[in-house]
Amino acid sequence: MMEQQSALMATRSHQTDDDNMIPLINIVFLLLIFFMVAGQIKAMPDATLELPESALQQQPVANPLRLEMLADGSLLLNSQSVALENLAAALGSLDYETNTSLSLFVDRRVTAMQLTELLQPLRQLELGRVQLMTNSSEAGQS
């Protein structure tokens, strides 16, 4: 009788260990599903780069080329550091087709003059289109 009781107790306590974990797993599964469904996995620009806010409507498309200009004026082409003078050569060595489009991530503190100096060499190349990326400021609005 005593043996039976102790055996019963043992299985009970073993079960309650797992039972305590089930709500935890529930929550973790819910979080996992939330991040899988709601989040998007996309290549982000450099962490120091702050995109300008805008209320523009146009949705960007995924472009094969990514050019970033940080607040200090340094350039990153597909996450590789590049100097402004070498930009055309670096783009040429990437072996893209003509009419390839380019996403331009420019820090909000960059001045018009810096942007003009960046756009002038880009105009010499046969790029399809240049998309200037901005953050949507419509969060919370309909």
Select 53 or 89, whichever has its Cβ closest to another protein. Answer: 53
CA distance 107 to 131: 14
Interaction of residue 54 with another protein, rule CB under 8 A: yes
Binder of another protein out of 2, 24, 95, 140 (CB under 8 A)? 24
Contact criterion met (CB below 8 Å) for 138 and 56: no
Q: What is the helix (H) or strand (E) element at residue 75, kind and residue range?
A: strand 75-77
Interaction of residue 75 with another protein, rule CB under 8 A: no
Torsion, Cα 29 31 32 35, to 10 degrees, reads 160
Binder of another protein out of 74, 86, 100, 134 (CB under 8 A)? 134
Q: Which amino acid is at 32?
A: L
Interaction of residue 58 with another protein, rule CB under 8 A: yes
* Gyration radius (Cα) of the chain, Å: 27
Q: Which residues bind another protein (CB under 8 A)?
A: 18, 21-22, 24-25, 28-29, 31-32, 35-36, 38-42, 44, 51-61, 103-104, 106-113, 115-116, 119-120, 122-123, 126-127, 129-136, 138-139
